[in-house]
Amino acid sequence: MSYMIGVDVGGTFTDFSVFNQETGELFHYKDSSTPADPSQAIVKGIQDVLKIKQASPEEVTYLAHGTTVGTNALIEKKGVRLGLITTKGFKDLMEIGTQRRPSLYNLRAQKPYPLIPSGLNRTVTERIRYDGSIETPLDEEETRQVVRELKEQGVDAIAVCTLFSFMNPIHELRIEEIIREEFPGAYVTLSSKLAPEFREYSRMSTTVMNSYLGPVMEQYVNHFRTSIEEIGIRVEPYVTQSNGSIISIKETIDCPIKTALSGPSAGVIAAAFIGKQCDADKIITFDMGGTSADISLIENYTPQVSNEREVEGYPARIPMINIITIGAGGGSIARIDDGGALKVGPKSAGASPGPACYMRGGEEPCVTDANIVLGKLNQKKILGGRMDVDIELARRAIQERICDHSGLDLKRAANGIITVVNSNMVRAIRSVSVEKGYDVREFSLMAFGGAGPLHACEVAQELGMREVLIPPHPGTLCSLGLLLADTKFDLSRTKVMRGAPENLEAINEQFAQMVEQGTALLDKEGVPAERRSFTFFVDMRYQRQNFEISIPVASGTLTPETLDRALASFHAEHKRSYGYCKEEAEVQFVSYRVSTVGIIDKPNLLPVPLQPEAAPPQAIEVRQVLFQGQEDYVETPVYQRESFVPGQSIPGPCICEQMDTTLVVPGGWTIYVDGYHNLKIHNDEVI
Amino acid sequence: MVRKIDTVTVEVVRNLLMSIAEETYGIIVRSAYSTNMKERRDVCTAVIDPDGNSVAQVESLAALLGSMLSVVPNIYEKFGRENVKPGDMFIANDPYHGGGNHLPDVVIAAPAFAGDKLVGWIANIAHHSDIGGKVPGSTSGDADSIFQEGLRIPVIRIREGGQLLDSVMDLLLDNTRVPQEREGDLTAQMSANLIGVQRIQEAYARYGDVLIGCMDELVTYSERRVRAVVSTLPDGEYCYTDYVDGCGDKYPDPLPIQVKVTIAGDDLTVDFTGTASQIKAPINVPYPCTKAAVFFSVKALMGDDIPANEGINRAIRIIAPKGCIVNPTEPSPIGAQIDCQQRIPDAIFGALASVFPDRVVTAGNGACTTTILAGDGAIGTDSVFIFHEVIAGGSGASLRYDGLSGVQVNMTNTSNMPIEATEMEFTKILARRYELMEDTGGPGELRGGLGIQRELEVLQDDVLYTGLGDRHRFHPWGLAGGKEGASGAFYRVSAADGSIAKMGHKTTSLPLRKGDVIRVITPGAGGYGSPKRRPAEKVLQDVMEKKVSIQAAREEYGVVIRSDGGHLEIDWPATQELR
């Protein structure tokens, strides 16, 4: 037998998705995480899985894992001591940032935590101009001295980011050589290699974060590799990056920042895969857990990628799946503020004390408490029966903290909490869809995570969406995604020129260089030639604008015809995004991007036969449930997910419980179970 | 107070309206042409209710609030509400006739109709790099009337019946030095409004008149929030006078900004009686800007999460005698009003320091230090370039925190121009230095934030330099024994002989030669509490970060730091002696 294993390490649980390539069986497993050394839980879990499957370690042919080691080191400020080398005259770029204060009105808001220790932001005499010409040559003796001083200061890593190095990296490369000579043990990141694009602050902060994480990640992945070798696994493990793809251990060590936002990205990859099973090419993903909700948009089965995002207050200029995270989850706390408004989140009760109903001393009403009072969640036991809850405590918290301060009665208060938290979700979904020029009503909402399916139909209703999709195991979508990822390197270059036929040669030269670079990277990853694919993009703008739109182009060898087509796509995309375009205006090409993909084998899941005539599922109980927009509780059947048979339709209103989540289906919606056990829930009455 | 709409729906609609305001803001920032909008984000957008009350506005910067609060009432007053039709769009920039701030800030507002029912407005305002007038960039340091400051646009239509009024556009473009850039920016502003109108119509289709009821409730809610805080404050009169440096050679004397804040029950009055009279120099603050400054100060102190809308204004009474510098009469010049407007929050914070000991911050850089460089050189189809930037400084210290270094304060919060973006677009400018300036933060137990030093070299002859700033004379004050921060300064380093000349805080259209360097130092901020109480380890850290010099550590903080071959350490016995 041969097994593919995907492992997603979360704060509480480590999830495993295991696919048997010969039988086609997909299996999920879950165990507690070991935050001090995440690899412990992985190793133990793999051993458990192999035992259950009576398989030997050699039969594991693929192993990928998503790690939060980088993310956590940034959040907990546990990176290494590092120094920065930049251009003389510009030592404080990291502290000044954009010069905007963090909050317009909150006079006490602070800047992000400084990653570079006091005085280790150093400068060297050198200057490159905007066109790549050398204005002042690098002072090599001074550089040598600076490196020696940083070494004496006990740094483990050095970040190098000089002005216009993206146009001409010669000084950064020379600085690296000098570091190698003077301080061979240092971990070094060059901005011109990591993120060769303009805007010095975001390039520098990406470089600094990468060096800050480098040695931490190096230690972790090396330890991880040794641990799995010790239990007899023979394959090289992969690590997920924030663009939803997987990379080798070697690449992870070089570019740890690429993993920093990888947490939710694998789930989006899996969502795109499930979308394909469901023939849904336009999807909004909605992953809601205990403290937050992650939202993204998928079009043509392809997640949207953005090229910059903030991490812990610093811009990170790396390609990543565009996911919006908001502080709205089951543990989000509801309150009435001084002006009498009902607010929910972003403060969360977390797992401890947790919502009032958890009986762990929490007194503040949470979203989960409201769902229990409304009858949407099981009023005695949740998490598939593993956890007891007390509805009286939930009622009391809402009564004391909401009703007594607002004049709302208990059921209006509970329903209001859901309305408000849903409206936060609606706002986030609008920001990835409507605000980007997409008509959200054409999209399906795919809900996962512990709380996504609880809210999905009512959120969809509010947005005028007609279809909600629920995968078979909404709690393990991230580990499934790890079985579905490819190896991918997103390369980029910046060179501003007119998007016109006379520049075709120069444009194609940019692409050719990156194809060469990408080929070398895939060589290193051992991807065979027939499994490589390259896709090409140009970031364009009208001359004088500063924000570009990334437009896919046909190939890396543009012709006058394909150039015209690319320009036409730009005008159309500009109109969609901003409501207008100027077809007569000059278009500038700014950055060139190549996605270099190495295609990895994926599970081939087959549908089971449909049995529309099978006996309808039996309700395990009938519960009083109060839905959004309703005045009164209605009798609602509660089913177990296991009892649904592919090919069946089940009308709402109903509740469907399973181990990792609860699905709430209001009246007017109908569930259809497809051959992959996905639930497609439709409402044709939504306007 | 009786509420018409339930609290839950109001929250849902608030989210929706903020989403609309933010979407239109994003469109302008991402598609505009001029660096003011695309990089510095000198833009604000708002949803306004059918009666003209601003309901939801993005929290980009506070200086532009004035227009948002007044534009629709001005349209109604001039045209009559009944004459506003679907497909209309209005434009204005003249605060004496329907605009809000100074002439470069152009506001454009569009009504949203459902059928023939007016259901709301979307408006935006953005800083244009040039709107004509006596100097490139329009804002001079020496205008003596508004007629020198650019094209005045009273509130007029720019679109009618869904069509652009070409003759209005032609007039505008004929009155700017950079017409291609203007056209791109105005298009971005109008396109954002078209999307905004559509979104408000969609919202009305979803919620009907409940939408309008919610807008009303949101305004009432903000008023309620402010009054709830005011009612907890001790009744009384709280006074403070701060000073603006003056304005150029004609007005060398300090100009007092005097405030008396009166708290009585849940009523709040801010009285500017005693403030300097208007002057014939461009720092007069038009009344809408004064309102915006009071609005900012009240929201920052009373609750930063109170929704920014007309309700905050309703909770405040402002007394500003006509003809004083914060309520000037036509045709007083107003181009550099922000340098004076910045002093209003300083004065209000000074007055209320005893009332909000844990919220008030010391005086920050309190200016809007501006550099404008203009010269020949084509960008696109425009034949001249106009580079405009605002450089941040220190922000105030407070009971618990040091001030922040190199940030915008009070009314402005625009981004810097990335150096690489600047030089790629303005190839005749070369940045030589952009760093924090040592010893500019006011000494204190909590140290004031540091100012910035920025040096720009010009690479061709005949570039005109305009430098506008304040707090070059009156340093940012400290509190509770904290000392004042350093002042700002402008210098020109001559390429010809290397001489360094200090320039005034309102330097206008000074011709530069190739190789000349403009050196701008922005003010720091005042300290909080006695510097002798600052932990010595923190002072050592300040020295390591080059925020405080070894000399100042000894003289101001009483901390003796020894440097041993680059290694810094505290000399404890010597320190104990000094402390």
Q: Which 8-state DSSP code applies to residue B150?
A: S
Surface-to-core class of residue B38, CB atoms within 10 Å of its CB (0-12 exposed, 13-18 middle, 19+ buried)? buried
- Residue A435 Cα, gap to closest chain B Cα (Å): 5
Distance CA A240, CA A226 (A): 19
Q: Which of B19, B191, B360 sits opposite A427 (nearest CB)?
A: B19
* pLDDT above 70: residue A263: yes
Spatial CA neighbour of B210 closest among B114, B122, B124: B114
* Higher per-residue confidence, B377 vs A254: A254
Mutate: best of B369, B390, B420, B446, partner A, most A CBs <10 A: B420
Structure tokens at A138: 């690098």
Q: Which of B261, B222, B268 lies closest to B238 in space, CA to CA?
A: B261
- Percentages helix, strand, coil for chain A, rounded to the nearest 5? 35, 25, 40
Per residue in A141-173, pLDDT (tens digit) is 999 999 999 999 999 999 999 999 999 999 999
Q: Name the residue with tokens 């979307």.
A: B122
Q: Do B421 and A198 touch (CB under 8 A)?
A: yes
CA angle A131, A178, A521 (to 5 degrees): 70
Rounded to two decimals, the ipTM of the complex is: 0.92
**Paired tokens of B563:** 């440097």
Q: Which long-range contacts (CB under 8 A, 24 or more apart) does B250-254 make?
A: B250/B142, B250/B279, B250/B280, B250/B281, B251/B279, B251/B281, B254/B473, B254/B474
Rounded CA separation B108/B89 (Å): 7
- Calculate how close chain A gets to B455, using CA atoms only, in Å: 9
Q: How many Å apart are CA B241 and CA B232, to the nearest integer?
A: 25
Tokens 């709409």 locate to: B5
| Calpha distance A56→A70 (Å, rounded) | 31
* A276-281 long-range contacts, CB within 8 A, separation 24+: A276/A301, A277/A605, A277/A607, A277/A674, A277/A676, A277/A678, A278/A444, A278/A469, A278/A674, A278/A676, A278/A678, A278/A680, A280/A444, A280/A446, A280/A467, A280/A469
Instruction: Specify the 3-state DSSP secondary structure of B430.
Output: strand
CA distance B472 to A681: 67
Enter the tokens of residue B126: 């953005």
Question: What's the distance, CA A401 to chain centroid?
Answer: 34
Q: Note the Cα B401 to chain centre separation in Å.
A: 23
Residue A428 confidence class, pLDDT cut points 50, 70, 90: very high
- The CA distance from B550 to B540, in Å, is 9
Å between A85 CA and nearest CA of chain B: 14
Residues 6+ apart with CB under 8 A from B535: none
Determine, for residues B359 and A107 on separate chains, whether the beta-carbon distance falls below 8 Å.
yes
Q: Is B397 on the interface with A (CB under 8 A)?
A: no
Q: Indicate the residue type of A559.
A: T
Those of residues 25-64 in B touching chain A at CB distance below 8 A are 26-27, 29-35, 38-39, 59-62
Query: Does residue A259 contact residue A221 with C-beta atoms inside 8 Å?
Result: no
Residues A160 and A85 sit within 8 Å (Cβ to Cβ)? yes
How many CB atoms sit inside 10 A of residue A359's CB?
Answer: 15
Is pLDDT above 90 for A414?
yes
Query: Residue A408 pLDDT more than 60?
Result: yes
A151: closest CA of chain B, how far (Å) = 13
Residue B4 confidence (pLDDT): 58
Phi/psi for A525 (5° steps) reads -80, -5
Confirm if B403 and B394 have CB atoms less than 8 A apart.
Answer: yes
| Inter-CA distances, B386 with B138, B153, B183, Å | 10, 21, 15
Classify the C-alpha dihedral A608-A609-A612-A618 as positive or negative.
negative
Give me the pLDDT at residue B579, please. Answer: 86
Alpha-carbon gap: A66 to the closest alpha carbon of chain B (Å): 33
- Give the tens place of pLDDT for each residue, A204-215: 999 999 999 999
Pick left, alpha or beta for residue A147 (phi over 0 → left; psi -120 to 50 → alpha; otherwise beta).
Answer: alpha
Helix (H, G, I), strand (E, B) or coil at B504: coil
* Three-state secondary structure call for residue A582: coil
Which chain A residue's Cα is nearest to B311? A339
- Say whether B201 sits in a helix, a strand or coil: helix
CB contact under 8 A, B423 and A129: yes
A201 and B431 in contact (C-beta within 8 Å)?
no
pLDDT(A13) > 80: no
Has residue A85 got a pLDDT over 50? yes
| A79 Cα distance to chain centroid | 21
Which residues in chain B are closer than 8 Å to A99, comparing Cβ atoms? 391-392, 406-408, 414-416, 452
Contact assessment for residue B294 and residue B217, using Cβ atoms and an 8 Å cutoff: no
Cβ-defined contact of A107 to B396 (cutoff 8 Å): yes
Closest-CA distance, A488 to chain B, in angstroms, reads 28
Residues with Cβ within 8 Å of B314's Cβ and at least 6 positions away in sequence, in order, are: B219, B223
The residues in B 330-349 lying below 8 A from A, measured between CB atoms, are none
* Residue pairs between chains A and B whose CB atoms are closer than 8 Å: 229
Contact indicator for A311, A202 with CB cutoff of 8 Å: no
Tokens of A160: 């190098």
Contact A99 B408 (CB under 8 A): yes
Does B538 reach chain A within 8 Å, measured CB to CB? no
Query: A interface mutation test: which of B434, B437, B522 has the most A CBs within 10 A?
Result: B434
pLDDT attached to residue A271: 96
What amino acid occupies position B73?
P
Q: What is the pLDDT along chain B (579 residues), one digit of tens a residue?
A: 344 577 788 888 988 999 999 999 989 988 888 777 877 788 999 999 999 999 998 887 777 776 777 899 999 999 999 999 999 999 999 999 888 789 999 999 999 999 999 999 999 999 998 999 999 889 888 999 999 999 999 999 999 999 999 999 999 999 999 898 899 999 999 999 999 999 999 999 989 999 999 999 999 999 999 999 999 999 999 999 999 999 988 899 999 999 999 999 999 999 999 999 999 999 999 999 999 999 999 999 999 889 889 999 999 999 999 999 999 999 999 999 999 999 999 999 999 999 998 889 999 999 899 999 999 887 777 788 889 899 999 999 999 999 999 999 999 888 898 999 899 989 999 999 999 999 999 999 999 999 999 999 999 999 999 999 999 999 999 999 999 999 999 999 999 999 999 999 999 999 999 999 999 999 999 999 999 999 999 999 999 999 999 999 999 999 999 988 778 999 999 999 998
Q: Is B97 on the interface with A (CB under 8 A)?
A: no
Q: pLDDT-derived band of residue A475, with 50, 70 and 90 as boundaries?
A: confident
pLDDT in tens, A431-461: 898 888 788 989 999 999 889 999 999 999 9
Query: Which 3 state secondary structure label does DSSP give A8?
Result: strand
Q: Do A99 and B400 touch (CB under 8 A)?
A: no
Least CB-CB distance to A342: which of B7, B400, B401?
B7
Question: Which of B19, B29, B180 is best to mutate for the A interface (most A CBs within 10 A)?
Answer: B19
| B493 and A CB contact within 8 Å | no
Instruction: Read off the pLDDT of each residue in A537-560 and give the average, rounded to a whole number.
Output: 89
pLDDT the model gives residue B88: 97
Average pLDDT over residues A588-613: 91
**pLDDT band at residue A319 under the 50/70/90 scheme:** confident
- Residues recorded for chain B: 579
Measured between its terminal Cα atoms, the distance across chain A in Å is 51
From chain B, the residues in CB contact with A496 under 8 A are 424
Q: Which residues, in sequence order, are bridge partners of residue A490?
A: A595
CB within 8 Å of chain A, chain B residues 547-576:
566
What is the distance in angstroms between the Cα of A92 and the nearest Cα belonging to chain B? 5
Nearby residues of B512 by Cβ (< 8 Å), 6 or more positions away: B373, B458, B461, B462, B463, B464, B465, B492, B518
Nearest to A118 among B31, B33, B545 (CB): B545
Q: What is the gyration radius of the CA atoms in chain B, in angstroms?
A: 24
